[in-house]
Structure 1
Amino acid sequence: MIAQQYRLYIERRDPGRNMARFYALSIEGTLFGQICLVRRWGRIGTRGRSIQHSFDDEGEAVGLFMQLLRAKRMRGYRLGSAARHGSAAPSG
């Protein structure tokens, strides 16, 4: 059981470089009682790619969540328009 909801959607846009990327993170519980960190990324407006990391402990998942968030913020990612409007995922 997850004590708190963890969801994040951030974007990096640079029109001069034709860059429009998104990065989404969420921590979810599985049917088997494990904790799963789901990472999604790609060009805004596409489904993108995804990967899942499974953990036995919520604290480990939160640690990786925060580590990835810091790395993306350092690369210029900021809260995206979907996050500001209440949606945690891009369309497409």
Structure 2
Amino acid sequence: MTDNTIQYLVLDRRDPDANMARFYVLSIEESLFGDASLIREWGRIGTKGQRRVELHESTSRAAEALETWLRRKQRRGYRIRSAPTSS
């Protein structure tokens, strides 16, 4: 994988008024057979959630799919979770 490819991304969507606290994780990993795979995980924060694996012919195709899912989720109100800062 190239250095400029996003390999792991955590999004969340929170709305206390609607009792909503959801997460969405996008990651690119190599499959057992050497193909690139886009792993999507989602659910309510604090639960195991669901997981879906999409196989792609190359890392660049998986990265394109990741970008598509990222834009889709951002339109629905998900925001990239910032890394926690150390005290």
Q: TM-score, normalised by structure 2?
A: 0.87
| Number of the residue aligned with 1:41 | 42
**How many residues align structurally?**
83
Q: TM-score, normalised by structure 1?
A: 0.83
What does 1:12-27 correspond to in 2, within 5 Å?
12-27=13-28
Gaps of 5+ in 1: 87-92
Once superposed, which parts of structure 1, at least 4 consecutive aligned residues long, lie more than 4 Å away? none
Give the CA RMSD over aligned residues: 1.5
SS in 1 for 2:53: strand
Gaps of 5+ in 2: none
Identity %: 42
Measured after TM superposition, the shift of residue 79 of structure 1 is: 2.3
Measured after TM superposition, the shift of residue 59 of structure 1 is: 1.3
SS in 1 for 2:34: coil
| Number of the residue aligned with 2:2 | 3
